[in-house]
């Protein structure tokens, strides 16, 4: 897996993700999205494992 982050300007980061595993997939696949800066927001770690278990998430 390859993740590429590019800061387009102060308020935006372009994220590109490519998954390449010839044993599991016939061809590489992926996607991209834009991350937007939100002033005065606290960054918290989000853990994907058992997302429904909110009390055990970091920062909660």
Parse the chain into domains and list their residue ranges.
2-56
pLDDT greater than 50 at residue 2: yes
Residue 44 is encoded by which pair of tokens? 């918290």
Rounded to whole angstroms, the Cα distance separating 35 from 8 reads 10
Please answer whether residues 32 and 17 qualify as being in contact, where contact means their C-beta atoms are separated by less than 8 angstroms: yes
DSSP-based three-state secondary structure for 55? helix
pTM above 0.85, yes or no: no
pLDDT in tens, 3-55: 999 999 999 999 999 999 999 999 999 999 999 988 888 777 766 665 666 66
Per-residue pLDDT, 14: 96
């Amino acid at each position: 897996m390859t993740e590429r982050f590019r800061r387009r300007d102060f308020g935006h980061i372009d994220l590109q993700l490519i998954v390449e595993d010839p044993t599991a997939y016939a061809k590489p696949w992926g996607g991209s999205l834009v991350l937007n800066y939100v002033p005065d927001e606290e960054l918290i770690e989000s853990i994907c494992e058992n997302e429904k278990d909110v009390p055990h998430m970091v920062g909660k």
